[in-house]
Amino acid sequence: MNIIVVGCGRVGAELAYRLFQKGHKVTVIDQDATAFTNLPNEFIGITIEGEATSQNVLHRAGIESANGLAAVTKSDPLNAVVAHLARTVYGIHNVVVRNYDPKLRVLLEDFNLQLVSSSSWGAQRLEELIAHVELIPVFSAGNGEVEIYEFSVPPGWDGHKLGELLPVTDCVPVSLTRAGSAILPGSETEIKSNDIILVSATFEGIEAVRKHLQVKGEA
């Protein structure tokens, strides 16, 4: 694929190098030429100094033949404008943007852009890991709006139905593992102490599970 990366800070440089390692043709744009020093010496691609909103710069980057564009600068408005241009003017459908300031996330959402909010997602993951060790997040979709969590059934829930433990909404069982064998459980599945449960849930859903666990004495 021919991919353009706008912004060569730490995130942009890492993304460009990872794409290059996967065999993609990568062009990196940054208004500051010194930013290209963030790229590893092994990186072989095109670097262009200039404003990413400039038609001339975008043409030099080969935007007409690009298969994808990632706008990952520290400026959310710039990311939004570049991504919007890529989609509406140049017809690139595979566009992803970085949300740098969580307060400006709504700006990118208003453009209906596929975004990665590293600050919001990172803060949520850190909070989960440091404050809720009984529920382990193992997969995150989007920016953490939906995640898959793993937990072990505490003794207080032995013999209960899975539906009693999980909330009615915002939480779906994924699997139940007992003695090394996994099944697809339902709400009527009887759970045993030390069963390993995987659930897909929103933040609200997993908070409900956490409260249910605590009621039965799970810290």
pLDDT at 180 (0 to 100): 83
- Residue 171, domain extent: 132-215
Same domain, residue pair 111 and 152: no
List own/partner pairs for 42-49 with CB under 8 A and 24 or more apart: 42/17, 43/16, 43/17, 44/20, 45/16, 45/20, 47/8
The model's pLDDT over 65-75, given as tens digits with 9 standing for 90+, comes to 999 999 999 99
CATH number at residue 206: 3.30.70.1450
Q: What percent of the chain has pLDDT over 70?
A: 94
Give domain status of residue 10, yes or no.
yes
Separation of CA 156 from chain center: 34
Same domain, residue pair 11 and 73: yes
Residue 115 structure tokens: 């975004």
CATH number at residue 21: 3.40.50.720
Which of 14-18, 136-140, 150-154, 172-176 is predicted least confidently? 136-140
Mean pLDDT of 112-120: 82
Q: Is residue 94 a contact partner of residue 65, using CB atoms and an 8 Å limit?
A: no
List own/partner pairs for 38-47 with CB under 8 A and 24 or more apart: 38/8, 38/9, 38/10, 38/12, 38/13, 39/8, 39/13, 40/13, 42/17, 43/16, 43/17, 44/20, 45/16, 45/20, 47/8
pLDDT at 33 (0 to 100): 95
Same domain, residue pair 145 and 209: yes
User: Domain count of the chain?
Assistant: 2
Mean pLDDT of 152-165: 92
Mean pLDDT of 181-188: 94
Same domain, residue pair 32 and 97: yes
